[in-house]
Amino acid sequence: MRKSWWVLLLVALLLAACGPRRVVVAPMLAVQELRRVDAEWAVKLRVDSVANVPFDLSALRVRVDLDGVSVPLPPQSLALTLPARGTETIDLRVTLPPAAVERLSAARDGRALYYRIDGEIESSKPSVRLLVDSEGRISAVPGVVDQFR
C-alpha cells in the first residue's frame, strides 16, 4: 500500500510538470492594402499570430520586395498588443521607388503582383526578437485608382 502511494505521487508530479507550454512563433505579416495618398503610399500590414501567448509588439524593421523591386519600410516603434492567436493591423506611410510605382501602374488591369516581406519584429513582453518572412500577392481594386489588396 505504501509503495503505491509514492508511485501515485510521482506520476502526479510528472504530469504536473508536463503542463501547457508557451509557444513563441513569429507572427505572419501580409499586405492587406496599398493605396496612394497624395505623393505617398499608405501600407496596411496585417499581423497574424499563431502563438498561444500574447505579444506586446515594440518595433518593426522590415523590407518588402514588390514584384522584384525592393521597398524598404521605415523602422517603426510600436505600442501594440497582439492577442494570442489574434490579428492586428499596422498603418505605415512610404514613398515608393519609381520602379515599384511602374509595376503597380502596369498591374491596374487586374494582374496580381507578388510580394515578400522579410525583417524582424520585436516584442517587449515576452522579450524576444523574431525574424519574419512572409509572401503573398496583391491585385488592383476594381474601379478604384491606385488601390491594391
* Contact by Cβ (8 Å): 123, 130: yes
All three cell numbers of 42, joined, read 499608405
Higher pLDDT, 22 or 27: 27
Task: Please state the pTM of the whole predicted model.
Answer: 0.81
Residue 1: pLDDT above 60? no
Query: What's the Cα-to-Cα distance from 18 to each of 6, 8, 83, 129, rounded to whole Å?
Result: 19, 16, 24, 26
Query: How confident is the model over 31-86, as pLDDT tens digits?
Result: 999 999 998 999 999 999 988 889 899 999 999 999 999 998 889 999 999 999 99
Helix (H, G, I), strand (E, B) or coil at 37: strand
Query: How confident is the model over 85-142, as pLDDT tens digits?
Result: 999 999 999 999 999 999 999 998 889 999 999 999 999 888 889 999 999 999 999 9
